[in-house]
């Protein structure tokens, strides 16, 4: 019984360190989209075969895998090393090596200009800064799907429940 309690305690500590405290210090906690939410995000994204897609804060890679299954060259950006390893395992298990990639780095320092589709499930306090980055870096016509959180000054093109579709256009460059 003591061994079980110790393991449970260790498991809780591991979880708190790698999925709550570590991510909070660098952005957001690990709160994965459900399979239904993932499917809704990818449906709203209207993935086009061969396009380059990015999931910002990709967690366990489930959105990256879903994007790649729809035909995108999908890239995830994740700062949590445990989640990066888990993502890469999930990509291998899905048979998507060479079509889906997870990078162990912050998306804040990544050049996103090569992506025409971006998905995000971030937290409220980063959305203003992220809005500026995406408008500045993404090409005209690029689509962004945000799960739950809205950009503060950017009206969505389409809303489906708590999913928001945005599109970069020339008018966004002037802001």
Q: Which domain holds residue 146?
A: 33-173
Same domain (yes/no): 123, 156: yes
Same domain (yes/no): 20, 76: no
Same domain (yes/no): 71, 154: yes
Q: Residue length, the chain?
A: 175
Same domain (yes/no): 103, 83: yes
In the chain, the number of structural domains is 2
Same domain (yes/no): 14, 41: no
Same domain (yes/no): 156, 138: yes
Q: What percent of the chain has pLDDT over 90?
A: 79
Same domain (yes/no): 78, 15: no
**For residue 16, pLDDT beyond 50:** no
Same domain (yes/no): 56, 120: yes
Which CATH number do you get for residue 111?
A: 3.40.50.150
Same domain (yes/no): 95, 39: yes
pLDDT digit string, tens, across residues 31-67: 999 999 999 999 999 999 999 999 999 999 999 999 9
Q: What percent of the chain has pLDDT over 70?
A: 81
Task: Please report, to the nearest 10 degrees, the dihedral formed by the alpha carbons of residues 56, 125, 82, 14 taken in order.
Answer: -160
Q: Is the dihedral of CA 93, 110, 153, 74 positive or negative?
A: negative
pLDDT digit string, tens, across residues 60-104: 999 999 999 999 999 999 999 999 999 999 999 999 999 999 999
Write down the pLDDT at residue 26: 53
């Amino acid at each position: 019984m003591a061994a079980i309690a110790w393991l449970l305690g260790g498991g809780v500590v591991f979880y708190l360190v790698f999925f709550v405290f570590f991510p909070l210090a660098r952005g957001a906690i690990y709160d994965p989209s459900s399979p239904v939410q993932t499917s809704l995000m990818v449906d709203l994204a209207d993935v086009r075969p061969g396009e380059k897609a990015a999931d910002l804060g990709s967690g366990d890679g489930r959105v990256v895998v879903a994007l790649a299954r729809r035909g995108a060259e999908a890239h995830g950006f994740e700062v949590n090393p445990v989640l990066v390893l888990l993502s890469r395992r999930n990509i291998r298990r899905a048979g998507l090596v060479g079509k889906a990639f997870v990078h162990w780095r912050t998306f804040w320092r990544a050049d996103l200009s090569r992506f025409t589709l971006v998905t995000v499930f971030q937290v409220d306090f980063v959305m203003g800064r992220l809005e500026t980055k995406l408008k500045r870096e993404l090409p005209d016509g690029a689509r962004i799907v945000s799960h739950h959180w809205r950009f503060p000054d950017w009206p969505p093109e389409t809303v489906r429940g708590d999913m928001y579709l945005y599109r970069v256009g020339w008018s966004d460059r002037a802001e």
